[in-house]
Amino acid sequence: MTPPNNKSAPMVDKATIARQFIEAIPYSKALGMVLTEIGDGLAEIVMDYNPALVGDPQTGVIHGGAISALMDTCGGAAVMSHADAPAGTATIDLRIDYMRGAIPGQAIRARAECYHITRSVAFVRAKAFDEDADNPVATASGAFTVERLK
Amino acid sequence: MKRAAPEPVQIVKQRRDAALAALVGGVPYMQFMGIGVERRGDELTATMKFDEKLIGNPFLPALHGGATAAFLEVTAIIEISWAMLWNDIESGAIDVEALVAGDLPRLPKTIDFTVDYLRSGLPRDAYARAKVIRAGRRYASVQVEAWQDNRDRLFAQATCHFLMPNRNDG
């Protein structure tokens, strides 16, 4: 993900830029992702239940692939919102652990934190929940690139 | 000792194709993603047809990392499910009509999934093949590779672990 070159934008607008950018991503839009919180290396994205994203029609549970996509987007958003991230980011690697199937009919909420950033690499942790905020559906950890402004 | 005559090719193929179609056709998310699976013998190749909605970076443009991850994961799940069913498909023990009617056996569940992004995904069709590295009674390890134009230039790869369904409870 690389936002349009916007060197003149002040830092305060970073969250707004990130929000607009993420909500304009075709794949995030197709999955119905809505950014609900962003700033200081933290991001939260909600994805509504959608029958088109089901992996097992017998249970109606959302496919792991859709959860991965949510985790990836949320991780990228967290990196972009970090004060030390100059521009866009791309995923280097992402590991997702699945704790349980998300309850059919419930929205999935992912929260990602960019907990460390160097000049080249951003490190991210994320968790995804349905309406049960005490039992995560999945957790993730990943490394993302730190893109330089040209 | 005389071997039993091999089954006619069309019967074997019909059973394999019906089993695969039942596995793939039952997954709404695969239709949403435009992912199809082709078979040669027991070897499966998944294709994700390019579509504008798979874009993650409109400025490059490039496929969304989440779309790539989902493609790899779908491919791995189909492969491990296919491998699990293969012997029963071959022996004819599997009830293909029940499969086609949507009555699938319990399938492996993903425990974890690790994806490496090797280069950006171009706005065109992508292909993937998975390999079951080890399938135990309870756990399985699967590797999956994805490429676009050149088989040797992977744009992503992944490793997945699966929890195998209990075979004793039907």
* Interface confidence (ipTM) of the complex: 0.87
Q: Residue A137 has which token pair?
A: 């559906």
Q: Which residues of A66-81 are buried (b: 16+ CB within 10 A; e: fewer)?
A: bbbbbbbbbbbbbbbb
CB atoms within 10 A of CB B43: 11
Assigned architecture for domain A11-145: Roll (3.10)
- The residue extents of the domains of chain A are 11-145
Check A55 against B29: CB less than 8 A apart: yes
Q: Which of A8-12, B4-8, B85-89 shows the highest mean pLDDT? A: B85-89
Of A82-96, A101-115, B18-32, B90-104, minimum mean pLDDT range: B90-104
Q: Which of residues 127-156 of B touch A (CB under 8 A)?
A: none
Of A39-43, A80-84, B141-145, B156-160, minimum mean pLDDT range: A80-84
The label of the residue with tokens 């012997």 reads B87
Question: How many CB pairs lie under 8 A apart between chains A and B?
Answer: 130
For A3, counting Cβ atoms within 10 Å of its Cβ (0-12 exposed, 13-18 middle, 19+ buried), the class is buried
Check B66 against A73: CB less than 8 A apart: yes
Please report which confidence band the pLDDT of residue B170 belongs to, taking 50, 70 and 90 as the band edges. Answer: very low
List CB contacts (< 8 A) between A90 and chain B: 65, 117, 120
Please give the Cα distance from B76 to B84 (Å, whole number).
12
pLDDT of residue B119: 94
pTM of the model as a whole: 0.90
Which CATH superfamily groups domain B9-169?
Hotdog Thioesterase (3.10.129.10)
Of A140-144, B58-62, B96-100, B148-152, minimum mean pLDDT range: B96-100
**B112/chain A closest Cα distance in angstroms:** 4
Give tens-digit pLDDT for B11-64: 889 889 999 998 898 789 999 999 999 999 999 999 999 999 999 988 889 999
Please report which confidence band the pLDDT of residue A19 belongs to, taking 50, 70 and 90 as the band edges. Answer: confident
By percentage, how much of chain A surpasses pLDDT 70? 89
